Structure 1
Amino acid sequence: MATAVTTTRRTTKTKTKTSANTDVPENQHIKLRKTLPPEAIIPVINGFQGKLIAQNRRTHEEFIWEEFGDVQDLTFADVKSIYSTDKAFFSNNWFLFEDTLVLEVLNAEKYYTNALTVEDFDTLFDKTSDEIKAIVSKLNRSQRMSVCYKARNAVANHEIDSLSVITALEESLGVKLVDR
């Protein structure tokens, strides 16, 4: 995958010529944007607890993920098109990415500041009650709903048996997971 490198350059002289042939005032930082070619293949993970359907409105191609954690390989052009026409896939963290370079190139990092990854979802219930409360308190509404869905299933399947974990989840999510 070819990318341009992000660099920061501090000049020591009054003015310096950059590779773009522009004058740079003294001590000014230059940030070059990273890029991805349109044909680059991006694994996109379903971060929604259920079936997820996205469409590239430019090409009308439809992409379907059957359940949470499913992966579809999209081109960067497809991801970029979906980002420009339907940011909800990003702001709700319905799309998860293994490589955060995609988010950096799209300038979508702000939507994923406190987002859980697929691995984080798998290990959340192994944390202490204080850690769970701290993590869940920072999640957006969509990811809280995903945690709630996953927690309900885990309790029903007896995968969570710690009363302190269940209580922390109930308090931080504002839901009842078990009848006491």
Structure 2
Amino acid sequence: MAESTQQKLVCSRAKAKSDTGSSVTQSSSAPKRKASTALPLDMKVRCVSSIPVGPLVYTSRRMQGMIIEWDEFGSEQYIELAELQSMRNSSPAFFENNWILIDDEEVLHFLHADKYYGSAKSIDDLYGILKKHPNHIAQLVKTLPDHLKKTLSIVAYREYTAGRIDSIGVIKAVERATGLSILSN
């Protein structure tokens, strides 16, 4: 009789284990984030400044004495992926505020920074918005983070004053979409 009780106990533990395993499988029906592919940490990544006024400076906490500077809006620096990981951990504002743009989906995903970028991951994307029909601008701008909305407004002003945008409709569409005044009345 003791053997029978022992067998029942073993069987019920095995059943509990299999039930637990199956319930884990069943509860994992929530959408999973695709696993990051392994990227070489010494890979150089093109990073572009999206700060419309003045320089942007990053001081590495990983490598003593390393300073990376972008002189102006649109200037580029090539940074190792390992340093970008350090930047994400020690100075997350570079990503959260979109101070740098990285036009590589795989790198952004690897850094877990893709959530901070909307429809614009490059300077060309910002200029591309300004080339759209005014009716389509609002849809594109609403996906941008606040910092990039401000940057887009400044870029629109510069393009307008330089004569590269001749449509007041585009300017008004950007103003409505961002909630920022570009041209004073």
- The TM-score bracket by the shorter chain reads 0.7 to 0.9
Contact 1:116 1:143 in 2 (8 A): no
* 1:126-161 superposed Cα distances (whole Å, 9 cap, x missing partner): 111121111112211110110111111122222222
**In 2, distance between residues paired with 1:158 and 1:123?**
16
Q: What pairs with 1:109-120 in structure 2 (closer than 5 Å)? A: 109-120=114-125
Identify, as 1 or 2, the structure richer in strand: 1
Identify, as 1 or 2, the structure richer in helix: 2
RMSD of aligned Cα (Å): 2.4
Residue 103 (structure 1) aligns with: 108
**In 2, distance between residues paired with 1:170 and 1:43?**
30
Structure 1 or 2, whichever has the larger Rg, is 2
Residue 75 (structure 1) aligns with: 80
> Are residues 26 and 139 of structure 1, via their aligned partners in 2, closer, same or farther at CA, if it must alter by over 3 Å?
closer
- Answer yes or no: is 1:85 the counterpart of 2:90: yes
Give 2:63's aligned amino acid: T
- Answer yes or no: is 1:33 the counterpart of 2:36: yes
**In 2, distance between residues paired with 1:33 and 1:177?**
40
Residue 59 (structure 2) aligns with: 55
Give 2:41's aligned amino acid: P
**Aligned residue pair count:** 158
Give 1:37's aligned amino acid: P
**In 1, distance between residues paired with 2:25 and 2:62?**
43
Give 1:34's aligned amino acid: T
**In 1, distance between residues paired with 2:25 and 2:174?**
52
CA shift, 1:116, in A, is 4.3
Partner SS for 1:93: coil
CA shift, 1:58, in A, is 2.0
